[in-house]
């Protein structure tokens, strides 16, 4: 069963995901992320801006396999789902 994880994301990173330039998220794995889960990325600039974008997790790399002292960090490869232009206020 897939889960939708709601996450805050800064404006600079949000716009990069939206444009398709940013295809990964570096996060603490405190939510038991799984391939196939969805991330609802909600733009945060001191408060929610109203912009959001949903992506699917396609791959999970445990960073502890590469870097010591990063025991609970993961790199999540992501892809957008469908056309979501209505999800962004503009």
* Global pTM value: 0.86
Q: How far, CA to CA in Å, does 18 sit from each of 11, 23, 56, 66, 83?
A: 10, 10, 13, 28, 11
Confidence of residue 86 (pLDDT cuts 50, 70, 90): very low
Domains of the chain: 4-87 (2.30.130.30)
From residue 27, alpha-carbon distances to 30, 59, 89 in Å are 8, 13, 25
Q: What is the pLDDT of residue 68?
A: 72
Residue 87, pLDDT > 70, answer no
Express each pLDDT in 21-72 by its tens digit.
Answer: 999 999 999 999 999 999 999 999 999 999 999 999 999 999 887 777 777 8
Lowest mean pLDDT among 8-12, 53-57, 67-71, 78-82: 67-71
């Amino acid at each position: 069963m897939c889960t939708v994880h709601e996450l805050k994301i800064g404006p600079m990173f949000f716009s990069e995901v939206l444009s398709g330039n940013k295809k990964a998220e570096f996060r603490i794995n405190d939510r038991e992320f799984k391939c196939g889960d969805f991330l609802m990325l909600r733009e945060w600039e001191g408060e929610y801006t109203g912009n959001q974008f949903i992506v699917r997790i396609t791959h999970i790399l445990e960073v502890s396999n590469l870097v010591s002292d990063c025991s609970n960090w993961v790199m999540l490869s992501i892809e957008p789902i469908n056309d979501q232009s209505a999800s962004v206020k503009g």
